[in-house]
Amino acid sequence: MSHVSVIGLGAMGSAIAAAMLHSGLDVTVWNRTAPKAEAFAKRGAHPATTASAAVEASPLTIVCVDDYAATLAVLDTAEVTATLGERTIVQFSTGTPEEARDGERWAKRHGAEWLDGAILGYPREIGGAALIFVSGDAACFERHQLLLAALTNELRYLGPAVGAAAALDLAVLSYYIGAHLGLVHGALVCESEQVSPKALTSVIVDSLPSDVSEIAHLGDALLRNDFSQPGASLAVYSGILDRLLAQAQSAGVNAEIPEFADRLVKRGMAAGLAGEEIVSIIRTLRRKH
């Protein structure tokens, strides 16, 4: 029996298998297209001929395919479920918290355990700096922690709520999307005045140490639900958005991004949050019970 099986040998799955081999583990691999698995045989892995054979080969199977639908297309077969007893599945395919809960319930029905994971990093960072979250049963995580640590220097266990890893992954991606949309509008502003986008990105990079401190401060405010000590208040950001919208109108720049932000900020202003942190608008966005 090998230590771990890896199902899915795309860029990330291949990096996972390679990191496991580099750590001296006995690794079984399976991929829908056999040549990828066979290529790992030259590196010391055992290519399985079927997904069920891969699961049967190890107490722990890591799945890294496109999404949950692809995961279940591979695993939810009579052949695979017959091999699942007392085994653990670690799911690194992308999904939602509800899909993670569904996966855990599915595994339990077949006598297996399920850990849900998310990877923040590129394939080249696997085995080193990639940040990896895992959630699910605590005892199960503890049994496999050392093996999973072969994948990263930054392995973080989020607790027994199996949907936590997917939730945090989506939350971080939400932050990135907001930041990147801001970068897009910033580039439009620069183009309208013949300022190089390189100048914009250079200033952003140079300001990162201060940004890190501010993000930590805002995170603490969100944790306490206390927004009364702003570095820059909602009213300040409202004024910034007024200027962005005025510039867009005068320069003929598309204003969809600041218009969206302005609607949220003005809603917070109307709710009496003008003197609080910008993230205080979470109070206007929370679901009412």
pLDDT at 288 over 80: no
Q: Which long-range contacts (CB under 8 A, 24 or more apart) does 15-21 make?
A: 15/123, 15/124, 15/126, 15/127, 16/62, 16/64, 16/92, 16/126, 16/151, 17/45, 18/43, 18/126, 18/127, 19/126, 19/127, 19/150, 19/151, 20/147, 20/150, 20/151, 21/45
Q: How many whole angstroms separate alpha carbon 2 and alpha carbon 27?
A: 6
Higher-confidence position of 209 and 255? 255
Half-sphere exposure of 53 (CA within 13 A, CB side): 11
For residues 160 and 150, is the Cβ–Cβ distance under 8 A?
no
Give residue 224's identity as a one-letter amino acid code. Answer: R
Which residue matches tokens 């085994």?
Answer: 87
Tell me the pairing of strands 128-136 and 113-120: antiparallel
Contacts of 123 by beta carbon, 8 Å cutoff, 6+ apart: 11, 12, 14, 15
Name 247's Cβ contacts closer than 8 Å, sequence gap at least 6: 189, 192, 253
Tokens in use for 280? Answer: 């205080």
Evaluate if residue 279 carries a pLDDT over 60: yes
DSSP 8-class letter at 151: G
* pLDDT for residue 131 is more than 90: yes
CA angle 51, 52, 57 (to 5 degrees): 100
Residue 247 and residue 233: Cα distance in Å, rounded? 22
pLDDT at 88: 97
Instruction: Give the pLDDT band of residue 287 (cuts 50, 70, 90).
Output: confident
Spatial separation of the C-alpha atoms in residues 277 and 231, rounded to whole Å:
7
- Counting residues of the chain whose pLDDT is more than 70, the rounded percentage is 100
Cα–Cα distance for residue pair 280/265, rounded to 1 Å: 10
Whether 140 shows a pLDDT value over 80: the answer reads: yes
Residue 216, pLDDT score: 93
Q: Round the average pLDDT of the chain to a whole number and report it.
A: 95
Q: Are 63 and 92 in contact (CB under 8 A)?
A: yes
**pLDDT of the residue at 289:** 55
**Gap between the terminal Cα atoms of the chain:** 51
CA distance 134 to 119: 9
- Tell me the pLDDT tens digit for each residue of 151-205: 999 999 999 999 999 999 999 999 999 999 999 999 999 999 999 999 999 999 9
pLDDT digits (tens, 9 = 90+) for 38-72: 889 999 999 999 999 999 999 999 999 989 999 99
